[in-house]
A and B are shown apart, each in its own frame.
Chain A
Amino acid sequence: MKLLTCPMNGIRPLSEFIFGGEYRVAPNQDTCTDAEWAAFVHNRSGAPGDKKEWWYHTPSGTWFIAERNTLTDKVSRTYLHGTNNNVVPAQEEEGK
Chain B
Amino acid sequence: MPLRLLKFALAKDHPAPRFFKSHETPKKSYDVVIIGGGGHGLAAAYYLAKDHGITNVAVLEKGYIGGGNTGRNTTIVRSNYLTPEGVNFYDASVKIYEGLSEELDLNLFYSTRGHFTLAHTESAMRTMRWRAEVNKHVGVESRVVGPDEIAKACPQLDLSCSGQAPILGALFHAPGSVARHDGVAWGYARGADRLGAEIYQNTEVLGIDVKNGKVCGVKTNKGYIETKQVLSAVAGFTPRITEMVDLETPIVIHPLQACVTEPVKPFLDTILVSGSLHVYVSQSSRGELVMGSSLDPYEVHQTRSTLDFVEGLTSHMLDMFPFLSNIKVVRQWGGMADMTPDFAPIMGKTPIEGFYLDAGWGTWGFKATPISGKTMAETIANDSAPDLIHSFRLSRFEDYELTGEKGAASVGH
Say yes or no: A19 contacts B341, CB within 8 Å: no
Residue of A nearest to B342 (CB): A42
For A19, A39, A43, A45, which residue has the most chain B Cβ atoms within 10 angstroms? Answer: A43
Say yes or no: A43 contacts B250, CB within 8 Å: yes
> When the two chains form the complex, which single residue of A35, A43, A44, A47 contacts B240, counting CB atoms closer than 8 Å?
A47
> When the two chains form the complex, which single residue of A35, A38, A70 contacts B301, counting CB atoms closer than 8 Å?
A70
A35-88 contacts to B (CB < 8 Å): 35, 38-39, 41-48, 51, 70-71, 73
CB within 8 Å for A46 and B398 given contacts A19-B297, A71-B301, A73-B300: no
Decide if B54 is an interface residue (CB 8 Å cutoff): no
CB 8 Å contact bits of B238-263 with A (1 = contact, 0 = none): 11101100001111110000000000
B369-413 contacts to A (CB < 8 Å): 397-398, 400
CA distance in complex: A70, B301 (Å): 6
Decide if B299 is an interface residue (CB 8 Å cutoff): yes
Say yes or no: B300 contacts A70, CB within 8 Å: yes
Q: What A residues does B252 contact at CB under 8 A?
A: 44, 46
CA distance in complex: A45, B400 (Å): 19
Say yes or no: A43 contacts B248, CB within 8 Å: yes
Decide if B13 is an interface residue (CB 8 Å cutoff): no
Say yes or no: B240 contacts A48, CB within 8 Å: yes
* Chain B min CB distance to A27 (Å): 13
Residue of A nearest to B396 (CB): A42
CA distance in complex: A19, B240 (Å): 22
Q: What B residues does A70 contact at CB under 8 A?
A: 253, 299-301
Q: What B residues does A15 contact at CB under 8 A?
A: 308
CB within 8 Å for A71 and B302 given contacts A44-B252, A46-B251: yes
Q: Number of contacting residues on A, CB 8 A?
A: 18
Say yes or no: A38 contacts B239, CB within 8 Å: no
> When the two chains form the complex, which single residue of B249, B297, B298, B400 contacts A46, counting CB atoms closer than 8 Å?
B249
Q: What A residues does B240 contact at CB under 8 A?
A: 47-48
Say yes or no: B397 contacts A38, CB within 8 Å: yes
For B298, B341, B398, which residue has the most chain A Cβ atoms within 10 angstroms? Answer: B298
Say yes or no: A38 contacts B298, CB within 8 Å: no
Say yes or no: A47 contacts B250, CB within 8 Å: no
> When the two chains form the complex, which single residue of A38, A43, A44, A48 contacts B400, counting CB atoms closer than 8 Å?
A38
Say yes or no: B302 contacts A42, CB within 8 Å: no
Q: What B residues does A47 contact at CB under 8 A?
A: 239-240, 242-243
> When the two chains form the complex, which single residue of B242, B297, B341 contacts A18, counting CB atoms closer than 8 Å?
B297
Q: What A residues does B297 contact at CB under 8 A?
A: 18-19
CA distance in complex: A15, B338 (Å): 23
Q: What B residues does A71 contact at CB under 8 A?
A: 301-302
CB within 8 Å for A43 and B301 given contacts A15-B308, A38-B397, A38-B398: no
* Chain A min CB distance to B251 (Å): 5
CA distance in complex: A51, B251 (Å): 15
CB 8 Å contact bits of B127-157 with A (1 = contact, 0 = none): 0000000000000000000000000000000
Q: What B residues does A44 contact at CB under 8 A?
A: 249-252
CA distance in complex: A73, B303 (Å): 12
CB within 8 Å for A46 and B397 given contacts A18-B297, A19-B298: no
Q: What B residues does A41 contact at CB under 8 A?
A: 397
Residue of A nearest to B307 (CB): A2
Q: What B residues does A48 contact at CB under 8 A?
A: 239-240, 253, 301
Say yes or no: B249 contacts A43, CB within 8 Å: yes
CA distance in complex: A2, B2 (Å): 50
Q: What B residues does A42 contact at CB under 8 A?
A: 250, 341, 397-398
Residue of B nearest to A13 (CB): B308
Residue of A nearest to B359 (CB): A46
Q: What A residues does B251 contact at CB under 8 A?
A: 44, 46
Query: Measuring CB to CB, which residues of chain B are less than 8 angstroms from any residue of chain A?
Result: 238-240, 242-243, 248-253, 297-302, 308, 338, 341, 397-398, 400
Q: Can you list 18 contacts pairing A with B, beta carbon distance less than 8 Å?
A: A15-B308, A38-B400, A39-B398, A43-B248, A43-B250, A43-B397, A44-B249, A45-B239, A46-B238, A46-B242, A46-B250, A46-B253, A47-B239, A48-B301, A70-B299, A70-B300, A71-B302, A73-B300
Query: Measuring CB to CB, which residues of chain A are less than 8 angstroms from any residue of chain B?
Result: 15, 18-19, 35, 38-39, 41-48, 51, 70-71, 73
The 6 tightest CB contacts between A and B, nearest first, are A46-B239, A19-B298, A42-B397, A48-B301, A43-B248, A47-B239
For the complex with contacts A42-B397, A48-B240, A70-B300, 19 further pairs of A-B residues with Cβ separation under 8 Å are A19-B298, A35-B398, A39-B248, A42-B398, A43-B250, A44-B249, A44-B250, A45-B239, A46-B242, A46-B249, A47-B239, A47-B240, A47-B242, A47-B243, A48-B239, A48-B253, A51-B299, A73-B300, A73-B302
